[in-house]
Structure 1
Amino acid sequence: MNLIKDAWIPVIRAKSGRGVIAPWQIAELDDPVMELAAPRPDFQGAMYQLLIGLLQTGFAPEDFDEWLDYWSKPPDATLLRTRLETLAAAFDFDKPDSPAFMQDYAMPDGEKKGIASLLIESPGGKTVKDNLDHFIKRDAVQHMCKSCAAMALFTLQTNAPSGGVGHRVGLRGGGPLTTLVLPPEQMPLWQTLWLNVLDREDMPEYRQDRVAGVFPWMGPTRTSEKNGAETTPESVHALQAYWGMPRRIRLDFPAKASMGDCDVCDVKNVALVEEYRTRNYGVNYVGNWVHPLTPYRFDPKKEKPPLSLKGQQGGLGYRYWLALTLANDTENGDAAAKIVRRYSEQRATELKIQRTARLWCFGFDMDNMKARCWYDHTFPLFNLAPQQRKKLLQWADDLITVANDVSSLLRKQVKAAWFRRPEDAKGDMNTVSLDFWQRSEPVFYELLDQLAKVSGEQELPPPELYSQWEKMLVSLSLQLFDAWVLEAANEDMDMKRIIAERDGLKRLVYGCKSMKTIKARALPEKEGTDGTKTDVLLS
């Protein structure tokens, strides 16, 4: 099976519906591919990244003009096939004694594991031994078809979390967030993928390097035992960012494979993959790696490498909107993914996309080796002039900052109402915050849409929008306090304490610095005695 030449990717076509394709068929026009149809959400996200990586590696446009040409009209499928097949030698999948996709170059032995261990949420050996696999049971997956095995392998390598001693995390760290730009309306898959491909002028200066510099499985593994090598961006080809391979894995393909049904996609009567071998101390990615599809936090002191943003407990609500869409501080703080910044700063204007595009964010929330949740969220992306972008960044930051403060105060006061000695209580208050963020989200996006329409020449935000946000936050915080305290079984239902903490919540919300900023901007301008207008500020 060759992952370039053979049809193995599940898709939905415009006319014929569900089917499987080879990668080069994404450019076919007679029955265009509209969407991928992977059997799991983490596979879906990984397959988007695999196809984007293929285009970036084998079909990157020379400059923005060529990028625009292929946006308007996809390349001839025969041309795309010819270009991608130059990479085919690196995409053999099931050759036991040859280089194989995402598998260790030469690993004659290793610990044997069932194929389910490729799935990130699969219970580990100690969990099974201690009989702690309560929610995700062992042996739920024992057989995979080759297509699902390839998807599972790539998903693990690109998201690899901590895996025990010497089992390395992915190039972006364990469980990174991925952010992809989506068109504002349904378009063929080609346009969606192409929105996330950089042209060569946007890419780092590439050295002419041997193929193993791009695809680490095409040469001896850069192992990382005590005297092993660390792998920095300077030590391999920059395109390896799309093809990181931290885990040493070799799938077992016996000469006479078992036939049956796949436990993941339920395809019938196919050759099955059941086991693989693994060893620790694979490729150890360190240094200033920056993946073009991932947002990062940069150290102002330049002492630590960039840190990829990860999935967070409680999901990917609007509190992360700024960091994922508009942030652009690659020197001192958060920066959206490079592909997102390229869209916002250039492509949105050139494509004349008037409707709001979307940002698809997804990733695992990992607690070391344990997958707590898979998060999948869509944010709005706006077509903004530079001055509008600058002002919206500040205005959105105002709204999110005060929401964050109110969320913290709400959580604190609910805990104080629940317990006589809240400092000694060890309950998880994240559900209170999550409720707050979810309920306030629709209003935030309504206001954000209106703020995005304000002219870049206007210095101050419309005061009525800030006033609306202020009133909603106060009202919502009190509503949620009542719901979480009066409708829950707290310690002793001490109404005197509850009323005192509720009054304290209202006082603290009105008194916090960020709320005073919002209130100041929510006040209308007052006309001075000389006919000029002055801002009314609160002390």
Structure 2
Amino acid sequence: MNLLIDKWIPVSFNGESQRISLKKLLCDKQEQDWHIAVLRDDMDLAALQLLVCLVQVVLMPEDAKALKKRWSEPMSETDYEQAIQSFIDWFDLLHPETPFMQTASVTPEKGNKNWASLQKMFVGLPEKTSTSASSNGFFNTPNEIQAVHLGDAAIALFQQATNGFSLGGAAFSVGLKGSMPLTTLVLSENLRKTIWTNVLSKAFLMEKAPELLNAEIQKPTWVIAPHSNKQEGALHIGLLRGLFWQPAKIKLAVKDGLATGFFKNTGMCSIAGFWQHPHTPIDMLRLHTGNAKEKPFLSARNDLPLWGQMLSFFYTQSQVKLVDTQQEGTSCALVVQQYQDNSTWRGRDIKLAIGGYVKGGSAESLAGRRHETYSLSTDWENKSAEMLHLINIGLEVYKKLNAAMNKFALIAIDKGTLKAKESSFKKAVKGKARQAYFDNSESLMHSILRKLVWDDIASYQKQFADLARTIFEQIMMPYEHEPKMLQAIIESRAMLNNMLNKMGAVHE
């Protein structure tokens, strides 16, 4: 299965699923309206990112003019076939010497002791060889996926190494961006144009990140293996090597043309310095601390809705302060910077696909996943202050809801009803409020962004406030028939309304 030649890309067209080749996608003059269709939203985004990375390294345009041509019209099959010749062996999943994102020398140990179930490659799925709670993020049983098409296996390999966490604990290092970074990609009119919108021209890279093109090691890790006993300098890692960085030593188990699991060998590599990945926003403050263990790439947070980090997806700020959090010197991803600078898209609206996993209580535990699409209308480049104001409104309302829930818990506990469970009760009611507010505020934020009118800011305050009041009442409902809880409900409700009224969101 060769990613540059074969039909591996899972797409849907007019409701029917099929697999197409990369050449078909980039060269088809009919411009079919294909949509990526994998297993779930995170894998769809992973497939798109994999396609972008393939085109980036194999078909990188020289400058903005060449990029515009590639974006505007399908390329010729002749040009495509000529361009891929020197890369074919590197992107074959079953190549005997250089299998894509694998280590050819990994073989089964006696009794298959180094075998791992296929689901371990799909972030968040429970799998037979692990009892970790962090592996049970999205499915209930360890047998949901027992065999997959090699195209889907390629997507899972790429996603695990690029955006997941360690395979097998301390013996396996995480990727260049650390554990569970966010991915931001610009969406365009169709799949082909979306891919080219996220491909950086050589001229742009030479201006913004020349070290990626000038690094001494350009070949991928499955051709030149990372150092297993010493650090590899980030400045020595070229564009292709970094985009397809594979820190783990693994080899797919294949039966009847399907991937059924994988074998892994102990080994790890560590990176000294910072490698500028073009698809993830960077926290410049963390970057400049010089802490080698602190990766500067943004991750989704369990204590903040995804829209709370929205400024970092669209803008590069010298200093931006949000409610109860600071994002200083955040730099948006290079693909967004190019979109803003390139005359091909200047003056257009922008739509971003954002995705990533949420870390749990420990470095390699999983609390969930976040995947959203945010759209901003024309002149979005000049609206960072307005966006900040909108985000602050939403976060300020949440802060007040959280305070009201805290007051409810404290009064209820003081009434003697739950003294033995003080900590867990408070945590539970505040957690329910947080989850409900974050989940429901995503759709609210999308509806506001679709028809953003800054003269109507009072309306936006009221919409967030109404959401907070609704969530409060929903959480209070089970306690309304308990006499000992009535005072706690009344006082915390009054507190919430008073705080929201002072914001200008008066309850009608």
Inter-CA distance 443–108: structure 2 relative to 1 (3 Å threshold)? closer
Deviations 1:332-352 (A, max 9, x none): 433322212332x324x6436
Q: 1:123 aligns with which of 126, 137, 153?
A: 126
Q: Does 1:375 align with 2:370?
A: yes
115-124 or 243-252, larger mean C-alpha shift = 115-124
2:357 alignment partner in structure 1:
364
1:252–1:276 contact (8 Å) kept in structure 2: yes
Note the 1:466-477 alignment, pairs <5 A.
466-477=457-468
Identity of aligned residues (%): 20
Where 2:222 maps in the other structure, the secondary structure is helix
Inter-CA distance 340–506: structure 2 relative to 1 (3 Å threshold)? same
What CA distance in whole angstroms lies between the structure 2 residues aligned with 1:191 and 1:119?
A: 28
2:322 alignment partner in structure 1:
none
1:456 alignment partner in structure 2:
none
Deviations 1:218-238 (A, max 9, x none): 123322xxxx22233212214
Note the 1:174-213 alignment, pairs <5 A.
174-183=179-188, 187-203=189-205, 204-205=209-210, 206-207=212-213, 213=218
Q: 1:310 aligns with which of 290, 299, 304?
A: 299
What CA distance in whole angstroms lies between the structure 2 residues aligned with 1:148 and 1:448?
A: 34
Deviations 1:400-458 (A, max 9, x none): 4423433432442343455336963453323212323444455545554555x6xxxxx
Per the TM alignment, residue 314 of structure 1 is displaced from its structure 2 partner at its CA by 7.6
Q: TM-score, normalised by structure 1?
A: 0.77
The structure with the largest alpha-carbon Rg is: 1
1:500 alignment partner in structure 2:
491
Where 2:225 maps in the other structure, the secondary structure is coil
CA RMSD of aligned residues (A): 3.4
1:160 alignment partner in structure 2:
164
2:235 alignment partner in structure 1:
234
Q: 2:222 aligns with which of 217, 232, 256?
A: 217
Inter-CA distance 449–51: structure 2 relative to 1 (3 Å threshold)? closer
Unaligned runs of 5+ in 2: 320-326
Per the TM alignment, residue 384 of structure 1 is displaced from its structure 2 partner at its CA by 1.5
Deviations 1:256-304 (A, max 9, x none): xx43xxxxxxxxxxx2333422123333234212311112222265333
What CA distance in whole angstroms lies between the structure 2 residues aligned with 1:176 and 1:133?
A: 19
Q: 1:341 aligns with which of 330, 337, 349?
A: 337
Unaligned runs of 5+ in 1: 260-270, 454-460, 520-539
2:480–2:486 contact (8 Å) kept in structure 1: no
Q: Does 1:10 align with 2:23?
A: no
What CA distance in whole angstroms lies between the structure 1 residues aligned with 2:378 and 2:247?
A: 38
Where 2:170 maps in the other structure, the secondary structure is coil
What CA distance in whole angstroms lies between the structure 1 residues aligned with 2:305 and 2:489?
A: 31
Q: Does 1:148 align with 2:157?
A: no
Where 1:220 maps in the other structure, the secondary structure is coil
Matched to 1:199, the amino acid is S
Matched to 1:485, the amino acid is M
2:175–2:245 contact (8 Å) kept in structure 1: yes
1:107–1:250 contact (8 Å) kept in structure 2: yes
Paired residues, number: 475
Inter-CA distance 478–385: structure 2 relative to 1 (3 Å threshold)? closer
Per the TM alignment, residue 243 of structure 1 is displaced from its structure 2 partner at its CA by 0.7
2:299–2:356 contact (8 Å) kept in structure 1: yes
2:351–2:376 contact (8 Å) kept in structure 1: yes
1:317–1:438 contact (8 Å) kept in structure 2: no
What CA distance in whole angstroms lies between the structure 2 residues aligned with 1:176 and 1:25?
A: 31
Matched to 1:123, the amino acid is P
Per the TM alignment, residue 366 of structure 1 is displaced from its structure 2 partner at its CA by 3.6
What CA distance in whole angstroms lies between the structure 2 residues aligned with 1:306 and 1:220?
A: 22
1:409–1:508 contact (8 Å) kept in structure 2: no
Inter-CA distance 440–160: structure 2 relative to 1 (3 Å threshold)? closer
Note the 1:383-422 alignment, pairs <5 A.
383-384=378-379, 388-416=382-410, 418-420=412-414
